[in-house]
Every structure is written in C-alpha cells, then in structure tokens.
C-alpha cells in the first residue's frame, strides 16, 4: 500500500455557547479549531487524524513539511515516518495527527480497532466528566447532581480562582451533597495557559501542598498540574510528599520529556496526549516506562472529537490507564459540539463507562457535510 495524497483542512467548529476554560483565563471561546488531516492511499483507504489548532499553522505546516515526503511511502512504516513527524513538530507544533491518520489506515486495513492491535486491554473504560470552567459552590452542586443523573460516576473540577480556600469549598459542597456517590479529581491548570490569556494567579509549592492535604481529606483521587510545567524540582518534591497522587504532563512532548519526568519522580500519574505530546504509538512507549516505574498513564484528551477517539484507543490498549477523560461542560461544550465533524458521537453508558468503538481504525466516521460546512479555505503558495 502507498500513500497517494495528504490533505489538511482547518475546521472552525461552533460550540453550543460561550466557554470560559481555566486554561485560557480571561478569554471566551465561541468555537473550537482543529487541523483535520486525511491521508489517502492507493488501496482506497483514507486515514483521518486531527490536531489542535489556533489558525492555519497546521495546514501550512503539513503542506510545507510533510505531504511531499509522505506521498509514495508505505503507511504501515510508522517508525520510519515518526522521524519526519518529529522534525516537523519542531517547526510547526502539533504534528502527531499524522501518526493518528496512519494508524487509522492500518486499523482499517486490518479490519480491527487499533487498540486490539496493541494488546486490547479493555473493551470498556470508566469515564470522568472533565469540566472546563470553575463555578460557585451552589452551581457546582447542581451540576454535579445533573452529571450524576446522566450516568457519570466521576467528575474533574477546575481550580483557577486566586482564593484556593474558596475553591476547596466547592469540593466540600459537592462531597457533602453527593457523599460517596461520585469520585472527584481536581485540575489546577497551573502548568501553562494558552496564548492571549489575561492575568491569573500562579501557585507555588506551599499552596500546592496545602491544597493537596485539603483534597486528601475530601477523598479526591488526584490533583492535576499544581505547578508550572518545568518546575521539576518542586514537582518532584510535591510528588514525594503529597498525601494524594499528583498528575500532569498533558502538554509535555517527546519520549525524552516523559523519561525525565518519570526518572525525576515528578508525577504519580502521567497524562501525555496523542494530539499534543507524541504520536499515539510513541505515547505507548512513554506509558511502558511509566508502567515499569509502577505509575499510571492516563492520557489527557481535551482537544476535539477525533483527538478524544485516538486517546481512547491508546487508553484501551494500556494496562496502566483505567480512566477516560470525557471532555464535557454543557451548555457550551456538549457531545454534539465536540463531535460535530463526526457521524457517530461518543457517549457514556448508563453506568458511567465508555464502550470502545469497534469500527476498524480509530473507530469513527467523518461527516463529509460537516467538513464542508466548517472547513476554511486557504491558498498556500509554493515557496
């Protein structure tokens, strides 16, 4: 089989309302952007991947740095192509969508979902509702009940306010209202923020430790990104002394960074993402290092419906994941908004699990009408 064409398109997908995510303080999101990548082959199979985008950077980068080198090559040779994908990532950012699309081709050629080619560890995965916004205690309790009634048995809350005591009150309020019906995680999003953010409060080691102790008493499962991404000394100190697991690594990149984080003891739970961190098969190598050190590897998944599916295939293949981050914060970030470019929205079962799609490849079908509707055209000159 040979690659015959590589096609990249920027999609601007409307949300179902304004979203104020904690990872972009002061910014209101009305849309989500993604670079949709389609790799066509002479066998008539097309592989699909997607990368996070803020504009046309992915489309231009694929055109300039990747397409010409991939055409005529064997899509199965992912270990050869990863060198090209990595070198392009240095110039243009998140190029891991190329590996995603190649594995979609390989799964489709084999007639199997990718996770079954990689060990098929789990056919169902427990999902947690991953919120994007902070909320006041009363609203948080109301929303937690609603999520519980929808079937979720775990919720990840966001912290971003300057007064952490106020945020701990949110967790206390949910715990006292719902008791042990629901598992809770907390994401402080301190590792970094998106460009264009307004002013925001940054934690230090002592705040992170105080919050970790308070959350332990409230039965929270993990504290995520409590410190800046490369504050490795304090991350290691916190992980060593924290009474509850510390999670992070969602935007760390490359095997070498995951090796460093694990060797330095920076997190109990590593959270590399197949859209942001590395190619999805490469991410399994980072997960194997984590496994050898007795650590969990629970991928981050907040990008778009396609990134979520790719990470789900990785998770379902791993013995040391066990959770699926289910990006969900209605009324803005709904299943419909997240999966608007797909024909088969991913939902949870009534008991809070996600059944891994059994369609070959990454387990989804692109909606060609939606691609036309949300695709933005650009003319790229040959230079």
d(CA 96, CA 89): 8
Give the number of other Cβ atoms within 10 Å of residue 179's Cβ. Answer: 9
Site for Mg ion in 214-243 (CB under 5 A): 224
Alpha-carbon distance 210 to 208, whole Å? 6
Q: With contact defined as beta carbons under 8 Å apart, do 120 and 317 qualify?
A: yes
Exactly one of 183, 187, 231, 257 binds Mg ion (CB under 5 A); that residue is 187
At residue 325, φ and ψ (nearest 5 deg) are -70, 120
Name the residue nearer to Mg ion (CB basis): 183 or 224. 224
* Radius of gyration of the chain measured on its C-alpha atoms: 20
Stretch that binds Mg ion, among 83-91, 171-179, 184-192, 214-222 (CB under 5 A): 184-192
Our CB check for Mg ion shows the closer of 65 and 96 to be: 96
The Cα–Cα gap between 67 and 181 comes to: 50
Longest dimension (CA), the chain: 62
Q: For 20, what's the count of Cα atoms within 13 Å in the CB-facing half-sphere? A: 9
Nearer to Mg ion, 103 or 152 (CB): 152
Question: How many whole angstroms separate alpha carbon 232 and alpha carbon 212?
Answer: 17
Question: Please, which residue, 96 or 302, has the CB nearer to Mg ion?
Answer: 302
Q: Which is nearer to Mg ion, 38 or 189 (CB)?
A: 189
Binding mask 26-55 for Mg ion (x = CB under 5 A): ------------------------------
Report d(CA 253, CA 231) in Å as an integer: 15
Of 70 and 324, which CB lies nearer to Mg ion in the complex structure?
A: 324
By Cβ distance, which residue is nearest to Mg ion? 187
Q: Please state the closest distance from residue 184 (CB atom) to Mg ion, in A.
A: 14
Candidate ranges 59-67, 185-193, 214-222, 316-324; the one touching Mg ion (CB under 5 A): 185-193
Stretch that binds Mg ion, among 59-67, 114-122, 187-195, 344-352 (CB under 5 A): 187-195
Looking at beta carbons only, is 187 or 257 nearer to Mg ion? Answer: 187
In the complex, the smallest distance separating the C-beta of residue 326 from Mg ion, rounded to whole angstroms, is 13
DSSP codes of every residue in 300-316: ---S-HHHHHHHHHHHH
CB–CB of 227/234 below 8 Å? yes
Between strands 353-355 and 3-19, the pairing is: unpaired
Q: Does 329 bind Mg ion (CB under 5 A)?
A: no
CB of 132 to Mg ion, least distance (A): 10
Strand pairing report for 3-19 and 269-270: unpaired
Q: How far is CA 80 from the centre of its chain?
A: 25
Which of 224/257 has CB closer to Mg ion? 224
CB 224 → Mg ion: shortest distance, Å?
Answer: 5
What's the min distance (Å) between Cβ of 14 and Mg ion? 24
For the bound state, the minimum distance from the C-beta of residue 310 to Mg ion, rounded and expressed in Å, comes to 17
- From the number of C-beta atoms within 10 Å of its C-beta (0-12, 13-18, 19+), residue 1 rates as middle
Q: Tell me which stretch binds Mg ion (CB under 5 A): 89-97, 186-194, 291-299, 314-322.
A: 186-194
Q: Per the structure block, which two tokens stand in for 243?
A: 């009474």
CB atoms within 10 A of CB 67: 18
- Site size for Mg ion (CB under 5 A): 2
Q: Which is nearer to Mg ion, 167 or 224 (CB)?
A: 224
CB of 164 to Mg ion, least distance (A): 17
User: Which residues form the interface with Mg ion (CB under 5 A)?
Assistant: 187, 224
């Amino acid at each position: 089989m040979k690659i015959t064409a590589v096609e990249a398109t920027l999609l601007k997908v409307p949300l179902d309302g304004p979203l104020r995510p904690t990872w972009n303080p002061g910014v209101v999101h009305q849309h989500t952007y993604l670079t949709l990548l389609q790799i066509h082959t002479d066998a008539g199979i097309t592989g699909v991947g997607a990368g996070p985008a803020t504009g046309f950077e992915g489309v231009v980068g694929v055109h300039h740095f990747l397409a010409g080198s991939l055409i005529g090559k064997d899509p199965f040779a992912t270990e050869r192509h990863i060198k090209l994908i990595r070198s392009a990532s240095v110039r243009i950012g998140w190029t891991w969508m190329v590996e995603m699309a190649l594995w979609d081709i390989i799964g489709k050629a084999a007639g199997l979902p990718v996770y079954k080619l990689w060990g098929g560890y789990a056919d169902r995965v427990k999902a947690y509702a991953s919120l994007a916004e902070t909320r006041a205690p009363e609203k948080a309790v109301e929303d937690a009940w609603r999520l519980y009634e929808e079937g979720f048995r775990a919720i990840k809350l966001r912290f971003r306010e300057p007064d952490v005591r106020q945020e701990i009150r949110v967790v206390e309020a949910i715990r006292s209202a719902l008791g042990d019906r629901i598992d809770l995680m907390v994401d402080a999003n301190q590792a970094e923020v998106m460009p264009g953010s307004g002013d925001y409060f940054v934690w230090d080691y002592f705040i992170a430790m105080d919050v970790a102790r308070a959350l332990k008493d409230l039965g929270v499962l993990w504290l995520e990104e409590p410190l800046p991404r490369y504050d490795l000394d304090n991350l290691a100190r916190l992980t060593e002394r924290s009474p509850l697991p510390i999670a992070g690594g969602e935007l760390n990149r490359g095997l070498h960074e995951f090796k460093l984080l694990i060797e330095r003891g920076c997190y109990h739970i590593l959270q590399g993402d197949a859209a942001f961190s590395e190619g999805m098969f490469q991410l399994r190598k980072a997960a194997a290092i984590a496994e050898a050190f007795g650590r969990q590897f629970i991928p981050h998944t907040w990008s778009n419906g396609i990134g979520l599916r790719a990470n789900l295939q990785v998770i379902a293949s791993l013995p040391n994941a066990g959770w699926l981050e289910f990006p969900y914060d209605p009324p803005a970030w709904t299943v419909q908004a997240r999966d608007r470019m797909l024909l088969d929205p991913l939902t949870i079962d009534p008991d809070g699990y996600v059944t891994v799609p059994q369609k070959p490849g990454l387990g989804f079908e692109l909606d060609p009408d939606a691609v036309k509707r949300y695709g933005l055209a650009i003319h790229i000159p040959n230079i």
